[in-house]
Structure 1
Amino acid sequence: MITTRGRQLIIDGEPRVIFAGEVHYFRLARDEWRDRLVALRDTGAQAVATYIPWVVHELPDGRIDVTGETADWRDLGAFCDLAAELGLLVIARPGPFCMAELKNEGIPHRVYGLPGVVAPGWRGAPPPTRDLDYLAPAFLAEARRWYDAVLPVLAERHHDQGGPVIAIQLDNEIGMLAWVSNSPALTEAVAADWRAWLAVQDRLGRHPGLTGSEPAAVLRYLADPPADAALAVADDLMRFCRDRFRRYTDTLAGWVAGHGLATLPLLINIHGTGGGRGLTYPIGISQLLGTWRNRPGTVAGSDMYLGDLTVGNVADFVLGNVFAAATAGPNQPLTALEFEAGDGDYGQDLGALVPPEATALKTRLAHALGNRLINFYLFAGGTNPPLDTDPDLPGGDGIDRIAFTGEEHGFAAPLGPTGRPSRTLPALTEVITDLNRIEQRAAGMVPHADLAYGFVADHYLTEYRVPDDPATRDLQDELARFRGFGPRQILARALVLGGYGLAGVDLSPHDDLDRTDPRPIDQAELPERLTPAGHPVLALVSGRSLAAVTQRLLADYVAAGGRLLLAGALPVLDELGRDCRLLADALTITVGEPLPDQVVDRRGRTRSNHPTVRLDPATTGLTRPEVAVGFAQPLRHSEATVLVRTTGGDAVGLEVRHGAGTAILLTTDYPCDLAVYAALLDRLGVRPRYRTDASDPGLVVAAMISPDGGDELVQLINVAPYPIETSVWRAAELMTPRPITVGARSAVLLQ
């Protein structure tokens, strides 16, 4: 039996950490399956994962072949049986969407011709991607037919019946295509549904220009709103889409249950990284958090492509996991459903090469952050077979194969298209082997946390904007500058590279999701809410806009004894850009306008303005030169302790008491001086449990601890390009009798 409990993955009564590799049976000749699966098993992996593409198994006449009747490589059951024979478990990913460079993202061509499936976007514009309306009845009817064909094969091999199948992923990267193209599905049916949702949520008052309830009239308003309603329309549309995505995955989950697979974990793949960074990854979390909220047994999984792991993006990796965990219930462990494992040359153009140790470092970090299933994607490349000739597609589309990468696929994989191992394979084998040795201890542990880190999910409601609307653009652009990681991502890096363990907490309310949830709300299965008892110290980044309900939550948290480090800006607006200073007023702080980057001198000439700030040595105990900053928001409070001032004397760093608690407000992008941020947190009474004395930056302390505190595992992960010598303390106890050296781009496990 397979269950999820206490952030653990339990298989046959034992907590497990499962390593898997993605092998696409449909891109291999049947006589190649064994070779690739043996190679996967030899790394130490315990499972194989694979997409099961609809477009591959459906024939031109509409029949669906999953038994190998028309081509032996289509025999899905035989592939699963071979995996079981070799001792591998199976993670099934049957779509309907698969992506994986497949034609139409894995959807058969004919589906796009069905009525209502392809939905226009803003102002009736056709979608620029192969997206479709997930809840279009014609699409759901065909998707049901696909699931009814493939699920029986998996049900026959259910782990509880002695088979290898341990989990099923529902669709893939839901909502991603609409986000990246800013093309939400907008039809009369969607518009009518949206208006009904507004009524249930008591939000019709936000839309005085929405008169009448005729679907055509609602669609005109929704798809091309007046300028004064564009912000509210986009905000309510994105919240509504969270509900739609949940209804879609609930529908798929119902089909899975109908085939006797209800007891298997259901997986949701989160999308969102780009350009080697994870700054937009939380948009995917925000879009999809409703699909696992209040659904024990449904588990979110990351899909991160960061390339190399460096001081520049290691905080992206950590916070991506921390933010996902913040939206999970107490019995929903983290997973990594597409864990980048290749050398980065995805386009076969040598535009990038990722060093082999990057995969090992990211694996160690993901393991320590609580991921209990890690699927290395793509483990083995292969060949894209030709599509069967379709008489309805004369001339084809320039390539007659199932995908658009040419004949071969998976150029960057540890095993290339022909099975040739890359330089990544030995590093992958080594790290899996090392972590398997500590599986029995690690599987029951949780990540150690020194303080909480706030995730404002609603700050990432930015996937859609009404085209050419300046108000939405300006608000979303400012959010992108500050949210999550801080301006220039400084706070995130300072904490991660400063050795702090972080526990995420979602500060956005999700009453709208709970209000329309068809399932009874089980409070015990919802994510933990912010309280001083559960989160004595909270670090948070905000821009100038923050919803009133979240500002009130923070004010109440500090008043009740919480200790808050707020970096970025003290909010003065709500989520729609309206004046809202609830937090500032509660703290009795007067907020000035941010210092401009241009000023007009006495002669009327425009000049650049470069703000500089300096720590107050008397209050911080640190002496530092003045430093240039890109943002400075002056604050005034008659009794606060001033920690940082601009050269002109404005306070941009304050410590203020409120009720039983304390808030430190740093409203400037002070450089990433690790000692400065450590001093700020020390004022709030928090120091890392695991402390180093390294003189150079680059070490990440990744620690796990047993729930009873009786066992712990500490990994020192060096993402710097040079070796680092350090001693390590656990609280006041020296863990390393002599200083140790962590080699460049390597890790050391302390037990």
Structure 2
Amino acid sequence: MLTIKNGAFFIDDNPTFLFGAECHYFRVDPEQWRDRLLQIKEAGFNLVSTYVPWLWHEPEQGKFDFTGKTHPRRNLLDFLKLCDEIGFKVMVRPGPYVMSELKREGIPEWIIENYSEVIARTITGNLHPARLVSYLHPVFLQLVRDWYDAVLTQIRPLMEDRSGPIVMIQLDNEIGMLQWVTNSADFHPLTMERYRTFVEENRLSQSGKLLNQASDSLEKFSEEEQSLSDHFMWSEFCRMEYSTYVSHLQELVRKNGINALTVINVHGFKDLSIYSRGTDYPIGISQLRTAALLHDCCVAGDFYPGHITYDNFHDIILSTVLTACISSKEQPIFSAEFQSGRLSDRPTVSSSDMNLLTRLCISHGMNALNYYMFCAGDNPEDIGLFGTRHEWQAPIASDGSRREGYATAQDLGRMISSVHEDLVLAKKEVDTHIGFYSPYYMTETDWPPSAAVKTMIQEVTSIRENYVFDGLWRLLAAANLTYDAVDLLKEGQLDSKEYPTLWVGTTRCMEAEVQQKLLDYAKSGGKLCLSPFLPEYDLNGRPCRILADAIQIEMGNEEYGYQLVDFRGHPSTFCRVHLKMYGIPDHEIIATSKDEPQVCTALYKRIERGNLMLLGVGMLHEYQYQIDVLKEIADQMGIRASVSCTHSRVHATMRRGERGSFLSLLNMDEKPAWTQMKANGEILFDQALVQVPARSGLMLPFMLQIGTLVLRYSTMEIFQKQAGDQVVTLGLRATGESGIVCISSGWTVSVTGASSSEESMGDGIRITCTWSHEQVHQDHHILMTLNRIV
């Protein structure tokens, strides 16, 4: 049985990394299913995922086909049985929406034609431009009930608790995405009736009390304040709608006698040609956080970064930690759609992009992923939105041949499978935390269409993208300060022992409840950094100076444009905006304006048992020296990188566990990097340099228990492992001129594939492997056999 515990998946009580591949049975002829699945198996996968499109299995209302009577590719049951036979676990994704480049995003055309009353409306009453359905329309929900009853009845005998392969069911797909990309919410008359009731009852969700601070009534609001109030009320209502929709779908699953894990997935990567930025991914997190809090669902991200370089690698880190922050602590970090290709053939997604994406996410705690797409195919019976072809640059092409990405996945699969039980139990070592504030991402629609709302969205978007996402949060990642995220709207106080330091990207507005929570956190001993603005208003634009009064400074106007700020040790630091602060009697001044040295731009203040830093400076990471500035600021808060490199552009993290730890080194550059490593101030690998290959990385074991052997460290990756009481066999892979393995004493060693030498190291043995000059620029695969001395 699949269960979740302490951030990991367990299968029959064994910790397991779920390594998945998306393969659509309806896009491949049944006589090719076995070939595709065997290729997936050969690559090291243990999970297969597929959509089950409603429009494909119920092309006419009431006429279902799951056994291939009307078309052989509708034989869902035989495909699932074949998955079981070959030894896969399966995630099924029956919608109602599946997207997947299908017409109507997978909703049957007969619904749109025959039940137009279920289509969402614009604010003017017209049909929604995307013909999006109104999720909670009673007619649509009845049609969904009929669909779920039909499909779930078919797959129920194949569920895991009936000895079948299906372990997860995804509920719908990317809920809220169509509303976001069209900037048009659902204003159906029935939706608006529910909204009016929501407003009248002031029924606010557990996401936070966003409105009506203190005892103000709506009548007292100015026109501008009213429009802002309406915007956040509407945004909160939409999130409750999504949560209610998830409730309906989950209830249908349970009523059909299925107790498997349910999944909801988060959208949000924005296609910008070669790069697909993650700056909007937190919008999807904001849209679905209420559903994540209220339901026992696994939250999974959809990660499509396009080309990965040093300039955008932080997008992946942030998407990973933000997905985790709205999830329960028991839930593993999971990506239900993990880029292994791309819809169009341009730009090309290289195998190195696939490699870096996988390694980055695993290094930051991900314990399950599903490559999308892994198998290409075609669209039968004109169901494809972009025509017949559906190649997706997939590692397995539609003709069954293998593209470059297949070998990459296979290499990663071997590495993961060799250590996965220990890997999923190892937790990422965290240096600090960032605060996620959902209201700053309630911007997917600009309703009501007022000047105040439009101005607020423009300002918030500019601040969060430039000075927070690509500024503060990126600089932390570039400085190799490893962080997790904290959802600031979750109930309860912020524990300063659990989160000793916290960085919060701020605008001028923040609700009173959260301002007070942050102040209480600092008073209780936490070290808090606010940047780049000091909140002085609530979300409705009314004065709210809880944090400002605590700092007790006089604020002047901020300066935009090309600004220079003097930090201690870093004069003339370039920034795009800085605050002006005056009257600072008992604060430690961190930075001043270069043009006006009497003007403070950043300060540090003692507040009871803790500290509050106001970093009134907006820096994008435009210059490498800004990393040093950030490190000095972090040092002021007592933060130092637990893992550090001598090479400035190698990204390093450590996952530590009782059964073994793993050091990940990532190199996004086009040439190899040599680096020495430190962990908590201690030089690793006996001061040896490690070569990190270009556009790739290493995941190196530490204190790994393998049977009765302790692998103290290795500068080579493990891709094969067999352990007995007396004999241990390791397959190792490395680049560079040599590789080192250090083991506990009491073993004899033989090495195949390289020259080797041994050296006693106290109660351990250090084995150095070398290869010929001709092999220096190649990957090296060696086999090490260790026999215990009896």
Q: What range describes the TM-score normalised by the shorter chain of this pair?
A: 0.7 to 0.9
- Matched residue, 1:517: none
Give 2:361's match in structure 1, choosing from 354, 363, 366: 366
Question: Residue type matched to 1:611 in 2?
Answer: Q
Contact 1:634 1:652 in 2 (8 A): yes
Which whole-Å CA distance do the structure 2 matches of 1:417 and 1:541 have between them?
46
- Bigger mean CA deviation after superposition, 462-471 or 307-316: 462-471
- Matched residue, 2:128: 127
Distance 1:121 1:24, change over 3 A: same
Contact 1:18 1:47 in 2 (8 A): yes
Which whole-Å CA distance do the structure 1 matches of 2:667 and 2:494 have between them?
32
Which whole-Å CA distance do the structure 2 matches of 1:281 and 1:444 have between them?
27
Residue-by-residue CA offset, 1:253-284 (whole Å, 9 max, x unaligned): 1111112212x110001001102110100110
Which whole-Å CA distance do the structure 1 matches of 2:192 and 2:177 have between them?
20
- Matched residue, 2:111: 111
- Matched residue, 1:730: 679
Contact 2:90 2:166 in 1 (8 A): yes
Q: Report SS of the residue matched to 1:312.
A: coil
Q: Does 1:543 align with 2:507?
A: yes
Which whole-Å CA distance do the structure 2 matches of 1:61 and 1:309 have between them?
44
Contact 2:663 2:699 in 1 (8 A): yes
- Matched residue, 1:600: none
Q: Report SS of the residue matched to 1:530.
A: coil
Superposed displacement of residue 432, structure 1:
1.7
Which whole-Å CA distance do the structure 2 matches of 1:317 and 1:242 have between them?
24
Which whole-Å CA distance do the structure 2 matches of 1:488 and 1:330 have between them?
24
Q: Report SS of the residue matched to 1:122.
A: coil
- Matched residue, 1:534: 498
Question: CA RMSD for the aligned pairs?
Answer: 2.1
- Matched residue, 2:641: 688
Q: Report SS of the residue matched to 1:173.
A: coil
- Matched residue, 2:327: 328
More strand by share: 2
Contact 1:490 1:671 in 2 (8 A): yes
Where does 1:192-341 land on structure 2 (aligned, <5 Å)? 192-201=193-202, 208=218, 229-262=226-259, 264-275=260-271, 276-296=276-296, 298-341=297-340
Superposed displacement of residue 716, structure 1:
0.6
Superposed displacement of residue 583, structure 1:
0.8
Question: Residue type matched to 2:407 in 1?
Answer: P
Which whole-Å CA distance do the structure 1 matches of 2:216 and 2:242 have between them?
23
Give 2:656's match in structure 1, choosing from 683, 699, 705: 705
Q: Report SS of the residue matched to 1:293.
A: helix
Superposed displacement of residue 468, structure 1:
4.5
Q: Report SS of the residue matched to 2:97.
A: coil
Superposed displacement of residue 481, structure 1:
2.0
Superposed displacement of residue 750, structure 1:
2.3
Which whole-Å CA distance do the structure 1 matches of 2:635 and 2:427 have between them?
24
Distance 1:82 1:532, change over 3 A: same
Give 1:356's match in structure 2, choosing from 351, 358, 362: 351
Which whole-Å CA distance do the structure 2 matches of 1:61 and 1:549 have between them?
50
Which whole-Å CA distance do the structure 1 matches of 2:320 and 2:664 have between them?
17
Which whole-Å CA distance do the structure 1 matches of 2:684 and 2:295 have between them?
41
Question: Residue type matched to 2:295 in 1?
Answer: R
Normalised by the length of structure 2, the TM-score is 0.83
Superposed displacement of residue 488, structure 1:
6.7
Superposed displacement of residue 57, structure 1:
0.8
Superposed displacement of residue 210, structure 1:
12
Contact 2:279 2:469 in 1 (8 A): no
Give 2:435's match in structure 1, choosing from 454, 462, 467: 454
Which whole-Å CA distance do the structure 1 matches of 2:487 and 2:505 have between them?
13
Residue-by-residue CA offset, 1:271-329 (whole Å, 9 max, x unaligned): 01102110100110110112221433x10000121112222221111111111211111
- Matched residue, 1:395: none
Residue-by-residue CA offset, 1:20-64 (whole Å, 9 max, x unaligned): 111110011111111111111111011110000000111335311
Q: Provide structure 2 residue ranges, at least 5 long, that are not aligned to the other structure.
A: 204-210, 702-790
- Matched residue, 2:762: none
- Matched residue, 1:489: 470
- Matched residue, 2:371: 376
Q: Report SS of the residue matched to 1:266.
A: strand
Q: Report SS of the residue matched to 1:10.
A: strand
Which whole-Å CA distance do the structure 1 matches of 2:131 and 2:40 have between them?
33
Superposed displacement of residue 628, structure 1:
3.1
Superposed displacement of residue 457, structure 1:
1.6
Task: Give the share of equivalent positions with the same residue, in percent.
Answer: 29
Q: Does 1:638 align with 2:562?
A: no
Residue-by-residue CA offset, 1:699-733 (whole Å, 9 max, x unaligned): 22232122x5x632110111223332221112122
- Matched residue, 1:136: 137
Superposed displacement of residue 685, structure 1:
1.3
Superposed displacement of residue 80, structure 1:
0.4
Contact 1:555 1:587 in 2 (8 A): no
Where does 1:648-663 land on structure 2 (aligned, <5 Å)? 648-649=596-597, 650-663=599-612
Contact 1:365 1:702 in 2 (8 A): no
Which whole-Å CA distance do the structure 1 matches of 2:547 and 2:608 have between them?
13
Contact 1:485 1:492 in 2 (8 A): no
- Matched residue, 1:588: 552
- Bigger mean CA deviation after superposition, 266-275 or 324-333: 324-333
Greater relative contact order (Cα < 8 A, sep 6+): 1
Give 1:615's match in structure 2, choosing from 548, 567, 582: 567
Distance 1:472 1:9, change over 3 A: same
Residue-by-residue CA offset, 1:637-665 (whole Å, 9 max, x unaligned): 22212121112222112111111111222
Q: Does 1:742 align with 2:695?
A: no
Question: Residue type matched to 1:613 in 2?
Answer: V
Q: Report SS of the residue matched to 1:283.
A: helix
Which whole-Å CA distance do the structure 2 matches of 1:208 and 1:662 have between them?
36
Q: Report SS of the residue matched to 2:685.
A: coil
Residue-by-residue CA offset, 1:492-523 (whole Å, 9 max, x unaligned): 2221122222121111256xxxxxxxxxxxxx
Give 2:627's match in structure 1, choosing from 674, 687, 698: 674
Which whole-Å CA distance do the structure 2 matches of 1:471 and 1:61 have between them?
46
Q: Provide structure 1 residue ranges, at least 5 long, that are not aligned to the other structure.
A: 212-224, 387-400, 511-527, 598-609, 617-621
Give 1:627's match in structure 2, choosing from 573, 584, 606: 573
Distance 1:730 1:507, change over 3 A: same
Which whole-Å CA distance do the structure 2 matches of 1:452 and 1:505 have between them?
7
Superposed displacement of residue 437, structure 1:
1.2
Which whole-Å CA distance do the structure 2 matches of 1:257 and 1:613 have between them?
59
Superposed displacement of residue 416, structure 1:
2.2
